[in-house]
Structure 1
Amino acid sequence: MFAAACAQAGVRQSMSAVGSSADNALAESFNATFKRETLQGRKGWSNKHDARLDAFRWLHRYNVRRRHSRLGQRSPIAYENTFHTTSTTLTEAA
């Protein structure tokens, strides 16, 4: 059933050796951080909209403002901007 859901969503499942956690470490770390920073001390949300909004706010903070030790204490956006100096705005049509 999980394999079918992945296939329907276009997600390729991990194919490492049984018992190897190395390929899953990044996802586990991300999920643990999400749970710790979003769910700790919370019993629930009043509706799906509020839960999704909290998740979106956390993801935005995680990608835009939160500093990561692996990135030299820079946010992912700041880290990416050190390598990509091209403009991300659209040019005006002629």
Structure 2
Amino acid sequence: MQPNSRHPLDLQLNGYRLATAEILYHLPDHPGILQSLLWQHYDIAPHYPELKRFLAYWRRNIEGRLHSVRVGRTPLLGPSRYRNCAGVFRLH
């Protein structure tokens, strides 16, 4: 089943949750420096097949060597969360 081809609610009803991964990798030209990438996709915990597919692609095609991957996910279906904004600040 391809997650991209279905509506998010359909995916959630089939066990998919929005997974967020923070991927740290070494810069190819400066291996002592780490860069961060945030990846989000609908995936199935705890095996995360979509994330594993993405990381396999990374290892095959991208020069930056992976350092670490930290994964978080949304809980089961529930209402959206609403947070009141106390103020808006602009920096010129």
Between structures 1 and 2, the one with greater helix share: 1
* Structure number with higher relative contact order (C-alpha < 8 Å, ≥ 6 residues apart): 2
Q: TM-score, normalised by structure 1?
A: 0.26
Between structures 1 and 2, the one with greater strand share: 2
Instruction: Please identify the structure whose Cα radius of gyration is greater.
Output: 1
